[in-house]
Structure 1
């Protein structure tokens, strides 16, 4: 496989110490001198920092963790659904997503392009546009490998909380065998081109989610 660097699109935010919305603290533990640099780093982090993938163990004690999530579900073609202009706590509706009928294909990765990546690492990272339940059901009928958003979440809002307790959107995705990816970026760069996407995470036992380096390759 050969490609030009212009075909590579970064879909992940950088991880910045003490600037994430969840704990992320790297601690150097090595030693240095005037002539020698050597460190190792002890890292304390939340599994949901940065651009990250969430899988069934997040909501099901018997669900697959990052160690056992199938490799073939981390690589695939993607369709970007443009829902720019949605307001915080406004639903992404069935009519919004049905505009892509005839474009979506079975087992695509489906990415919701809200434009809310501009609020990442700011106090306005929440709330966000969410997916209405009937819109989600229609998208899941395509059995997507992953459902992603450049906002910080997909969940229905609660009355007194940012997200509805019980997280039905999460649960329905996981029951369908669909991973969730939150806080993507640069989706405008891959709109209308069906790129091949790689979600790079370690095979980490006991992890319900993991910050991810997600790369799209256009024009393969």
Structure 2
């Protein structure tokens, strides 16, 4: 068994979506004064490697805390899209190449390699994003979730969040953004864990994403 952590570390200087405040990690209690260390975290719900719920877009749709925990565990498949350049889109061509495995998977994770830009201005550039036909496939096959190693499932230029709206209007899917190390998983099915912080009425939450490979 091999375990791969697919999660970026939360820090005060990490990339965040434009318009979002940076996290704050303030030492609230110290060893010297209190005999223990405690940290006050101030963080937006869609920071770092995180998960979007349907309620992120639609007021009366499902929140993360309302999902059964089984929603966050399942068979994953990484689809290699690392040959795509800036401004190119992920289409059904990439899925058709691995269609049999893609149909079996409960989570599709698209590896673009864009995480190499993490911590730079380039991370907010014109990264590869999925097309509406890919969103249609995710809906048709009733996937539990979809994930990417970029800052958003929609292009950074799409202020209407078209793909978010399409997915969340029609299915109980979760969207995972800012994954990393997807290129280390390979092209076989594996067990995927994406466990969100459980808080009331969660529209989104940071997650610890992990791939467990049976070798």
Shared fold per TM-score greater than 0.5: yes
Which residue number corresponds to residue 185 of structure 2? 190
By percentage of residues, which structure has more helix?
Answer: 2
Which residue number corresponds to residue 176 of structure 1? 171
User: Which residue, 71, 75, 78 being the options, matches 1:77?
Assistant: 75
- Extract unaligned runs of 5+ from structure 1: none
Aligned to 1:196, what secondary structure does the other structure show? strand
Structure 2 distance, partners of 1:177, 1:135, is 16
Structure 1 distance, partners of 2:6, 2:120, is 18
Which residue number corresponds to residue 131 of structure 2? 132
Structure 2 distance, partners of 1:163, 1:204, is 30
Aligned to 2:135, what secondary structure does the other structure show? helix
Structure 1 residue 131: Cα displacement: 0.9
Q: How many residue pairs are counted as aligned between the two chains? A: 209
Aligned to 2:70, what secondary structure does the other structure show? helix
**Contact 1:81-1:97 at 8 Å conserved across structures:** yes
Aligned: 1:218 with 2:213:
yes
Which residue number corresponds to residue 114 of structure 1? 112
What are the superposed Cα offsets for residues 47-106 of structure 1, whole Å, 9 maximum, x if unpaired?
121111111110011112221122111000101111112122211122222212122135
Structure 1 distance, partners of 2:153, 2:197, is 24
RMSD: 1.9
**Contact 2:75-2:189 at 8 Å conserved across structures:** yes
User: Which residue, 166, 182, 195 being the options, matches 1:200?
Assistant: 195
Aligned: 1:165 with 2:159:
yes
Structure 2 distance, partners of 1:29, 1:139, is 44
User: Which residue, 54, 70, 76 being the options, matches 1:56?
Assistant: 54
Structure 2 distance, partners of 1:165, 1:183, is 18
Structure 1 residue 193: Cα displacement: 2.3
**Contact 1:18-1:25 at 8 Å conserved across structures:** no
Which residue number corresponds to residue 204 of structure 2? 209
What are the superposed Cα offsets for residues 2-27 of structure 1, whole Å, 9 maximum, x if unpaired?
xx5xx111111111223332421011
Structure 1 residue 146: Cα displacement: 0.6
Structure 1 residue 116: Cα displacement: 0.6
**Contact 2:50-2:205 at 8 Å conserved across structures:** yes
Structure 1 residue 125: Cα displacement: 0.9
Structure 1 distance, partners of 2:8, 2:66, is 25
Which residue number corresponds to residue 9 of structure 2? 14
Relative to structure 1, the CA distance from residue 139 to residue 99 in structure 2 (aligned partners, 3 Å threshold; closer, same or farther) is farther
Aligned to 2:66, what secondary structure does the other structure show? coil
